[in-house]
Chains A and B, each alone.
Chain A
């Protein structure tokens, strides 16, 4: 063990991480279910995190030197690991209960207008509520509404969907020359807005769409054009003077519906091959909507859990399974493994690779 590495045990899995790493980043290194969900934390934005409280974890042992547990649940995105720290995430009842509470709080004023929301299908709040929320709501009052603000030709703001993660504020601070929007007011009537109606059109302001975990900030040029799961993400690039020019095109046939930055498995913008984070400029995002503008590299990787993987899709990323390790070596008992039992099709044949409708000859 080198001097700068510390050992931390998260849900019975021990990892070694450099000193100064946050619990969340250490847990992401383990991957799978062990990584706490994060709605406001964004590793590429300095100062983000700590606000949404979905990543709360229990620290059952502070460190090797000071083994006392921490009295309260801590925000894993802003708490750094100590040597010998023991953290409980999905193995702690307290954490699961608190997280369920946080999800409920985030949803009580959310309009739940997923059927008409452009973010549906790639929305972190959707994923969060599927994984940690309850089926129904106990909230019986009118949901909060806001006066509409127009943010200009590129960005559509739906304040009712916002969870006030502050990511877009940090993005504007750290990527653009001037920040023209911010959080106005306080408490449950706090809102993202420009103080005086303003057109947001800084070179890199379009990235607020990529960092927004919900459908509060969406692409106006893509608005109501298509559902994300009907479009296919492909990696593409072009020579751009302002940004790295490495993007994901969301295509249907030969038509480019939307351009976004490339994202990793945590929904964050990936590093570009030229170094640095792969933020993209407004020109690439909003103005280059012809397939001929781009050099297409091939299909982008898509997480198997994502609805975008529905239908035919290649290059699926299978998430890491951590159950066995978390449960001290006991693996969950499957009643029936559909894949091994069904044998409906020839296992060597991947249906998503067929360029024609499946035929009876593809099955046994």
Chain B
């Protein structure tokens, strides 16, 4: 077993309650930060840790924090993005459901570092029961003097609120989240200005993912340098991966970003291989919006190096032969899965979740969905594949927020790597309704897993 930082105590009975959490060493980071460190020192530790945003983009958290504008007399806000709606991603849910106090501890420490006296947790509307868990945890923390006025007698005050969304994927985009938090329609704002300058109620705001904020706890406890020792290169610390799809043991795993993709899929410690003796066809390594990879490119990079579960290695080769770490939603597809149908499912999701504000995304996502449905049903034409490619190209990069890119990338990657399967659907429409295309050469050279 490798070292765990976030989920180490997740299975201690009763860890959801304050008493057990405190007994297991909880809230140490708050004591340490508030009593012995200045806010800037906390930011410095986070910078040293090399922690990168766990929400998907992987932007260095310390740097994001140091960009926060600090004008005199204007309140600053910390907002925790718990609107985890990416298909395939469910790590934050696990964290909040089982160790809610870890998030609250991280929120207090981070708010102190940023000088925020009011902080929010914006939670996905569908996570209704987690809202209750968090609110109860906040109550307990307040009761024990970790929230409210003059925390630990240091003069620092913090109010923490949980706000439920109304069930929109788009509200996971930080500016749409802020709009929604302000009580408006969840449309992304046009950047610049960035939230660090003009965010919630036009005040400087930092928006961080649940896991990022939770990771601040071990960073403050052990020191940023200690945290940076885990992992490799610029991928420091541990990362929660939510694995699902055709694997024996779906679930949330904490990895230290040094293990290979192959080990992650096949070892018993993690996913435990693919059920029913099936072979690996493809995988989406970081949540539905990152490019899909066929098995041969997943296990090894185009240069023939072993692919490691970290930011750099997964994106090795760019979008041509690589993918992204994303939010850590690891979706595995075995040889029985149809890539066309799968791509259609994703396109349908993005059409449904587009906010409808800017034209390429509003119109393009629906168009792609219709074409993919036609292809999947065996009514497609050869030109449709090129048309799809052209549509995704015209959406990508031309929209206000990254949802347009997120809708375009899976389609682009599916066509890039699995074009023959799309063509097979066109050429053999009847057969395509009865059986799957199978593995073709995607797993070549056929590889015997080590574990």
Contacts and interface: CB of A to CB of B under 8 A. Distances in A.
B367 A187 contact: no
A101 B360 contact: yes
- Chain B, interface size category, equals 20 to 34
Interface string B347-369: 00001111111111011111100
A51 B357 contact: yes
B contacts with A: majority SS? helix
A274 interface: no
Interface stretch (A70-78, A84-92, A113-121): A70-78
A53 B359 contact: yes
Contacts of A146: none
Given A139-B367, A187-B353, A188-B351, A105 B359 contact: yes
A144 B356 CA distance: 14
B22 interface: no
B394 interface: yes
Interface stretch (B27-35, B98-106, B270-278, B396-404): B396-404
Contact of B356 (A49, A73, A141, A186): A186
Nearest to B400: A50
Contact of B363 (A54, A75, A105, A166): A105
Interface string B317-359: 0000000000000000000000000000000000111111111
Given A102-B398, A105-B394, A139-B367, A53 B168 contact: no
Contacts of A163: 359
Contacts of B400: 50-51, 75
Contacts of B357: 51, 164, 166
A97 B190 CA distance: 22
A147 interface: no
Nearest to A190: B356
A190 B360 CA distance: 14
B4 interface: no
Contacts, number: 91
A45 interface: no
B354 A187 contact: yes
Contact of A138 (B363, B366, B387, B395): B387
B399 A53 contact: yes
A50 B361 CA distance: 13
B360 A105 contact: yes
A108 interface: yes
Interface in A28-49: 49
B187 to A, nearest CB: 9
Given A50-B190, A51-B358, A187 B366 contact: yes
A54 B360 CA distance: 10
Contacts of B370: 141
B170 interface: yes
A234 interface: no
A183 interface: yes
Nearest to A106: B359
Interface in A96-112: 97-98, 101-102, 104-106, 108-109
Interface string A169-201: 000000000000011011111100000000000
Interface of A: 49-54, 56, 72-73, 75, 78, 97-98, 101-102, 104-106, 108-109, 138-139, 141, 144, 163-164, 166, 182-183, 185-190
21 contacts: A49-B190, A51-B357, A53-B359, A53-B398, A73-B397, A75-B400, A98-B394, A101-B360, A102-B398, A105-B359, A105-B394, A141-B367, A164-B357, A166-B357, A186-B170, A187-B352, A187-B366, A188-B351, A188-B363, A190-B355, A190-B362
* Nearest 7 A/B pairs, CB to CB: A101-B394, A190-B356, A105-B363, A50-B190, A187-B354, A188-B366, A187-B356
